[in-house]
């Protein structure tokens, strides 16, 4: 830690003014810089949730490593699982540096995950039942993730922006890996086509929910305003959801797939996609770890955490 | 520091090829230098070509604080340090029917530039 500088001696409001000025001029905030408490807390929540979601997201996909239909597909999905764990490592580092002044570490992140205090993304509570689901995760779930993550590539917090640059570059592979699976099925037999239609039908609501509710009325709180004020992101949940529709709906339809929402259409005068809202009460339940696979996956994490503890202990022995 | 008994923070640097400069990649947690190297390769070099990796314990790095960084800002009055300050020579040389020996020309004298 550096010595106390004159900046540290300034009253809070002057430090905040200076901080906002830095953000406005596009300067990046670094881990050791002064930052307002709500900026730190918002980032910790956002980034630890993102990091742990990468790790929890690897779980439904890893189930498909032994079941993937060819050696090439097994290798590809294994590489993707490895990437997701790598992204988790990267993001947890960013969160940990922010948590250091609070005397918290990775241990606390894992404990908060297992106790239910730290949430993970709604999509990773769902079951990946078929090979179509494995393809859909790469294509549309990663597609949705790319939309939200590219929106933060210029985030005011430097370490997060740098982590996202690395992550988004790899997400491009993931999306194409998913597209390759979907394309093979879409050009395959009737049974294979039906398989992806079934995946879309089952995953549709989860995909809409991925971007979060439009405002705070659903879950009681929303970090949208604060993340935009501090230039962590630039678009609202609804804007991101609309971007996702614009990018992906034409592709879904071009493959002869049907949207599970017959009301869905693009309103030209408003320039917006009109769609049926998913059941947001279900969303609330899912993120409270009451989703179809929530408990099972948390249990899996807990098992690997406890059963690998001996490695840490063995390595800690000083000889 | 909070329960850092086991894990320590390492900063990771790497070279893309023997001829490239060392570049900072990211940080990681590892119990020692050896595992930090293994983790660095796993975490950051899954696709990019790499010819060397360095890991440095973060506590051994002296960083600049915000105030010190302020001192790095330059006044925009040092044209004489750059070729920008001598740009007028191009026109001058043209009068004498000569080309200016600019940076691109001079650096090409050593043969093919390093890729």
Q: Which residue has the higher pLDDT, B110 or B115?
A: B110
> Which chain A residues in 11-40 lie under 8 Å from chain B, judged by CB atoms?
32-34
Record the tokens describing residue A226, joined without a space. Answer: 């604060």
Please, which residues bridge with residue B27 across strands?
B11
Q: Can you tell me the distance from the alpha carbon of B41 to that of A82, in angstroms, rounded to the nearest whole number?
A: 12
> What band does B2 get if pLDDT is binned at 50, 70 and 90?
very low
What is the ipTM score, two decimals?
0.85
| Consecutive H or E run containing B57 | strand B52-57
Strand, helix or coil for residue B115: coil
Which of B1, B2, B60 to mutate to test binding with chain A, by most A CBs within 10 Å of its CB? Answer: B2
**Pairing relationship of beta strands B8-15 and B23-30 according to DSSP bridges:** antiparallel
Q: A109-143 pLDDT, tens per residue?
A: 999 999 999 999 999 999 999 999 999 999 999 99
Whether the predicted pLDDT of A174 surpasses 60: yes
What is the pLDDT at residue A270?
A: 95
Burial, B21: exposed, middle or buried (Cβ in 10 Å; 0-12, 13-18, 19+)? exposed
Question: Using an 8 Å Cβ cutoff, are B57 and B9 in contact?
Answer: yes
Closest CA to A180 of A146, A123, A137: A137
Q: Can you tell me the distance from the alpha carbon of A69 to that of A97, in angstroms, rounded to the nearest whole number?
A: 41
Sheet containing strand B52-57, strands side by side:
B23-30, B8-15, B52-57
Running DSSP on this structure, what letter comes out for residue A308?
Answer: T
> Cβ contacts (< 8 Å) between B64 and chain A: which residues?
2
Which of A22, A80, A82, A90 to mutate to test binding with chain B, by most B CBs within 10 Å of its CB? Answer: A90
Main-chain phi, psi angles of A27, to 5 degrees: -70, 150
What would the 3-class secondary structure string for A105-122 be?
A: CHHHHHHHHHHCCCCCCH
| Residues of chain B with a CB closer than 8 angstroms to some CB in chain A | 1-7, 26-29, 31-32, 35, 39, 42-44, 46-47, 63-68
User: Which chain B residue has its CA at the smallest distance from A84's CA?
Assistant: B43
CATH 3.30.1490 fits B8-60, yes or no: no
Question: Using an 8 Å Cβ cutoff, are A180 and A172 in contact?
Answer: no
Q: Domain A18-316 has what CATH class?
A: mainly alpha
Interface residue A78 vs chain B (CB under 8 A): no
| Consecutive H or E run containing A293 | none
Beta-carbon-side half-sphere exposure of residue B106 (alpha carbons within 13 Å): 5
Q: A47-104 pLDDT, tens per residue?
A: 999 999 999 998 888 889 999 999 999 999 999 999 999 999 999 999 999 999 999 9
Question: Using an 8 Å Cβ cutoff, are A207 and A278 in contact?
Answer: no
Strand, helix or coil for residue A89: helix
In chain B, residues under CATH classification 3.10.20 are 8-60
C-alpha dist (Å) from residue A163 to A75, A151, B58: 25, 13, 18
Q: Which residues neighbour A82 within 8 Å (Cβ) at sequence distance 6 or greater?
A: B42, B46
> Cβ contacts (< 8 Å) between B39 and chain A: which residues?
89
Q: Which residue has the higher pLDDT, B80 or B3?
A: B80
């Amino acid at each position: 830690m550096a010595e106390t500088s004159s900046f540290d001696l300034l009253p809070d409001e002057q430090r905040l003014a200076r901080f906002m000025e830095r953000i406005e001029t596009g300067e990046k905030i670094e881990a050791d810089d002064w930052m307002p408490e709500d900026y730190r807390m918002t980032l910790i929540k956002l980034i630890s949730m993102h990091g742990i979601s990468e790790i929890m997201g690897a779980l439904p996909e890893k189930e498909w490593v032994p079941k993937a239909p060819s050696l090439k597909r097994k290798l590809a999905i294994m590489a993707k699982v490895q990437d997701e764990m790598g992204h988790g490592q990267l993001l947890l580092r960013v969160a940990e540096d922010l948590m250091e002044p609070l005397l918290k570490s990775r241990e606390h992140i894992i404990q908060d995950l297992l106790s239910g205090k730290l949430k993970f993304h709604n999509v990773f509570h769902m079951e990946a039942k078929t090979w179509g689901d494995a393809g859909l995760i790469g294509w549309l779930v990663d597609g949705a993730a790319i939309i939200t993550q590219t929106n933060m590539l210029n985030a005011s917090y430097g370490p997060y922006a740098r982590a996202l640059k690395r992550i988004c570059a790899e997400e491009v592979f993931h999306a194409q890996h998913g597209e390759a699976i979907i394309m093979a099925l879409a050009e395959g037999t009737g049974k294979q086509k039906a398989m992806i239609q079934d995946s879309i039908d089952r995953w549709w609501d989860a995909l809409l929910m991925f971007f979060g509710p439009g405002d705070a009325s659903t879950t009681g709180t929303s970090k949208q305003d604060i993340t935009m004020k501090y230039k962590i992101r630039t678009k609202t949940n609804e804007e991101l959801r609309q971007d996702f529709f614009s990018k992906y709906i034409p592709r879904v339809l071009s493959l002869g797939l049907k949207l599970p929402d017959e009301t869905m259409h693009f309103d030209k005068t408003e320039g917006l996609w009109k769609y049926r809202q998913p059941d947001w009460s279900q969303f609330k339940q899912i993120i409270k770890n009451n989703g179809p696979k929530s408990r099972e996956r948390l249990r899996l994490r807990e098992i690997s955490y406890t059963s690998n503890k001996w490695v840490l202990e063995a390595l800690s022995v000083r000889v | 520091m909070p329960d850092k008994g086991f894990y320590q923070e390492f900063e990771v640097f790497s070279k893309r090829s023997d001829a490239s400069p060392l570049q900072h990649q990211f940080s990681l947690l590892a119990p020692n230098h050896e595992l930090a190297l293994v983790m660095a390769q796993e975490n950051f070099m899954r696709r990019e070509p790499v010819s060397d990796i360095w890991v440095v314990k973060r506590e051994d790095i002296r960083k600049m604080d915000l105030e010190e960084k302020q001192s790095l800002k330059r006044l925009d009055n040092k044209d004489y340090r750059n070729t920008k300050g001598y740009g007028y020579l191009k026109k001058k040389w043209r009068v004498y029917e000569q080309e200016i020996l600019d940076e691109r020309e001079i650096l090409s004298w050593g043969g093919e530039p390093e890729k």
